[in-house]
Each structure stands twice: as structure tokens, then as C-alpha cells.
Amino acid sequence: MQYCNRCGLPGNTPHIQFNHEAICQFCQDIPTVNKYQEDRKKALLHFETRMKEISLGHGPHCLVSWNGGQHNSYLIMRLKEEYNLDIVAYTLDNGFNATWTFESMRALSESLAIDHIIIKPRFSMLKQLILSNIESESTLNPDTLTNAGICRLCKLLIRSIGLRLALQYGVSTIIYGWPTEIDAAGYLQTTPQKLHHTLQKQLTLLGETTQLSNYLLAPEDMKSHSKSIYETWPLSFLDYDEKATLQRLNTLGWHAPYPPDSRQPYCWLKDFANYITMRQTGYNPYALEVSQQVRQGRITREEGTQHLQYKPSPEVIAATQAKLGIFERIKLDQDSANFAGEHLSRRNNNLYPTEYEHIED
Ligand SMILES: [Zn+2]
């Protein structure tokens, strides 16, 4: 397969076009690295001003979504230690978070003296939503080339739940633990009404959401809140050193199975979503994000390529399928068997799953 000479984006990226020097169109179009650095500096400056401002008021100062993974946990630590914020962290337990994440979150929240709320919607409902997104035609968002269904679903739920909690706590700032797909400035600011409306609309596109109303904002919740809601994604612009981050987190009681690899990802569903997208399209839904980081000069082309070598572990895939009540309809497909499904193909005499079917309870 061909790879972009500059950012390493693979040739199976939808709509990719290479020029005669094997440079992809994204690299041809981009502003220089300097321009990116300027933008990031601007975003960081804006963020720091905002954090300083809110830290002067009475707490809690902000809500922070928390998945227990390394980068997200690092963000929480930094918000507390560097910006001195009174934090209410919250976690959406989708039923697929690894056990170690909860142990680590408990230890870290105690070390940092922050509040931590865990929200676990009933699994039967989440399962239904997840399944309807697995079965949908395309698992890739054509605009962002990221996972269209499952990960997007969780992010929308996290934002929707965050909005509700924000109004309950009288907090105007919600901080998310993943890099933004939304805005280069790294933040969005709008009224609770408008945000609610946008999120609701997007959730509806992903499936039947009537059952979700228990977790979402009701119109009467919005009446008392006149302030606008500020959402931000600092991992898009904060710099950090992975090694130092890990050491500091370990001293505070946060531990991942080491190395934090494919055997124990923080969210099994995320790995499963990647697996499905890769199997349907051949394309790794993180390729564009990773190549973007290369273009921004945040990681090298080699580091980017290494990130994309990551393959979900067969055990994780199998356990996720089992919990979702999915079994595979088997069809011979030797090519696909090279990816992540070795255990299944061995078990099934070189047969590999190509279609999903939901078993009715
Ligand atoms: Zn490129």
C-alpha cells in the first residue's frame, strides 16, 4: 500500500489523492506547521484565561468527562494541579470500560481530592443503541473519517449527560477528555437550549432515543439557567510528555496494565468499533487524526505509523461480541482473517465472520 511521504496517511483512506511526489491532498492543502503552532498557542492562551477566570469563583468550577484512560486521567490531574480547579469528574459507564480503569479512577480521584460521578444507563438500552449502529450501512463518518456510529454515540451521550450535570451543579464549563473533532479553536460556547437541541438532533440520527430521556435535559431544567455553556477539548492543544505523564500518574495511584496495550484497552467497545470499521472499509478510523498530528508537528511520521499498527486483541473483540449478544455468520475470507480475527478463523477452520446477526433474548 502507498503512504503519504509527509504524514504517513495510508492509501486506503477514502478519497485520498497523492501527487507525483506521493504527498496526500491534506498535506498539499495545509498551512505550514508554524500556522498550526500559532493556532494551538492561541487556543491554549484562550483556555488558560478561561481556567484562571473560573478558578477565582466559588466551586465547583467545571465538569470533566473521564474515561479512566491515560491521556484523559492526565488531563484531570493537570486541571487540578496546574489550574487549581474544583473539579466534578463524571464517567459514562457503557458496560465496556475495563475494570482497571475504575480502580485507577478511584485512586486518582482520592489523591487529587476531586468528586467523581459514575453514570451507568441501563445496559439493555445502550445495547440496543449500539447494535443499531453496528448494523447501519456505513460505520465511517464521510466528513471526518472517524467512527460514525459507536464512538460518536458515546461522545454524544457524554456531552448530553454533561450538559444536564452542568445545569444541576450550576457550572458553565464542561471539559472533555478527547481531542476535538469540532473546532480548531478548541472550544464551543452556546446557550444550554441550543446545545441541547443540537445534541438531541444528532442522537436521534443514531437511533431511537426516547428511552434516553432519563439522562437528558428536560425543557424545564433550562429555564433557570441563563449563562452560556462553554465546552472545551484541551487535549487538542495541550502539550504533554507521555513518559513523564505516566510516571506522575503512577505516583498518584493511577495504574494501567503495563504496557497499556491491546490486551486491556480502557474501553473495549472503542476497540470493537475500530475493528468493525476496519473490517468494513479496510481503513483505520484513527488514521486521519494521527496524520493530522503529524502535520501539526506534534508527533513524527514514524510515531504516527506506529500508532496505526495497533490492532485490537481477539479476546477483547470476542468478549465484546459476546456481551452484545452477537454471533458471527461465517464465510470464507482469508484476507480478513489476517486482521484481528486469527483466533476465530482458527476456531472455525479458517472461516471468518463477515456478517453480524443479533440473537434475540
Ligand atoms: Zn499527507
Ligand 1 centre to CA of 152 (Å) is 25
Which residue range is the domain that position 338 belongs to?
A: 327-361
Closest CA to 139 of 345, 316, 284, 30: 284
Between CA 339 and CA 336 the distance in angstroms is 5
**Position 262 confidence tier, pLDDT thresholds 50, 70, 90:** low
Same domain, 98 and 49: yes
Ligand 1 centre to CA of 26 (Å) is 6
Ligand 1 centre to CA of 285 (Å) is 16
Same domain, 169 and 298: yes
Same domain, 129 and 235: yes
Q: Is residue 26 part of a domain?
A: no
Each residue's pLDDT tens digit, 48-87: 999 999 999 998 999 999 999 988 999 999 999 999 999 9
Same domain, 85 and 185: yes
Percentage of the residues of the chain whose pLDDT score is greater than 90: 41
Ligand 1 centre to CA of 307 (Å) is 16
**Residue 316 pLDDT > 50:** yes
Span between the terminal Cα atoms of the chain, in Å: 43
Ligand 1 centre to CA of 308 (Å) is 14
Same domain, 317 and 332: no
Q: Is residue 15 part of a domain?
A: no
Ligand 1 centre to CA of 288 (Å) is 9
Ligand 1 centre to CA of 233 (Å) is 24
Same domain, 308 and 356: no
Same domain, 230 and 346: no
Same domain, 314 and 183: yes
Give yes or no for a contact between 277 and 283, defined as CB atoms under 8 angstroms apart.
yes
Ligand 1 centre to CA of 30 (Å) is 9
Ligand 1 centre to CA of 23 (Å) is 5
Ligand 1 centre to CA of 9 (Å) is 6
What's the whole-model pTM score? 0.83
**Residue 107 pLDDT > 90:** yes
Output 219 or 79, whichever has higher pLDDT: 79
Ligand 1 centre to CA of 311 (Å) is 22
For ligand 1, a single-atom ion, which residues have Cβ within 5 Å?
4, 6-7, 9, 24, 27
Between CA 152 and CA 290 the distance in angstroms is 18
Ligand 1 centre to CA of 182 (Å) is 21
Strand segments, DSSP code E, in the chain are 62-65, 87-92, 115-119, 173-175, 187-190, 229-232, 326-331, 352-358
Ligand 1 centre to CA of 34 (Å) is 16
pLDDT in the model for residue 61: 97
Q: Is residue 360 part of a domain?
A: yes
Output 131 or 358, whichever has higher pLDDT: 131
Ligand 1 centre to CA of 8 (Å) is 6
Ligand 1 centre to CA of 32 (Å) is 13
Q: Is residue 19 part of a domain?
A: no
pLDDT in the model for residue 59: 87
Closest CA to 288 of 5, 7, 1: 7
Q: Is residue 210 part of a domain?
A: yes
Between CA 278 and CA 275 the distance in angstroms is 5
Q: Is residue 11 part of a domain?
A: no
Output 6 or 141, whichever has higher pLDDT: 6
pLDDT in the model for residue 338: 39
Residue found by looking up cell 440473537 in the block: 359
Same domain, 289 and 347: no
Q: Is residue 159 part of a domain?
A: yes
Ligand 1 centre to CA of 65 (Å) is 32
Ligand 1 centre to CA of 181 (Å) is 18
Based on the structure, what is the number of domains in the chain? 2
CB within 8 Å of 288: residues ≥ 6 apart: 9, 13, 26, 144, 145, 146
Ligand 1 centre to CA of 184 (Å) is 19
Give the single-character DSSP code of 252.
T
pLDDT in the model for residue 307: 83
**Residue 233 pLDDT > 80:** yes
**Position 347 confidence tier, pLDDT thresholds 50, 70, 90:** very low
What is the enclosing helix (H) or strand (E) of 275? Answer: helix 268-281
Ligand 1 centre to CA of 338 (Å) is 26
Averaged pLDDT of the chain: 82
Closest CA to 130 of 106, 105, 156: 156
Ligand 1 centre to CA of 5 (Å) is 7
Cell numbers of 167, please?
Answer: 445545569
Same domain, 360 and 222: no
Ligand 1 centre to CA of 29 (Å) is 9
Q: Which whole-number Å values give the CA distances from 352 to 133, 245, 315, 344, in the listed order?
A: 21, 40, 15, 7
Same domain, 361 and 303: no
Same domain, 148 and 297: yes
Between CA 7 and CA 10 the distance in angstroms is 9
| Alpha-helical regions (H) of 57-122 | 70-81, 99-112
pLDDT in the model for residue 344: 35
CATH code of the domain in which 65 resides:
3.40.50.620
Q: Is residue 298 part of a domain?
A: yes
Between CA 314 and CA 284 the distance in angstroms is 17
Ligand 1 centre to CA of 44 (Å) is 25
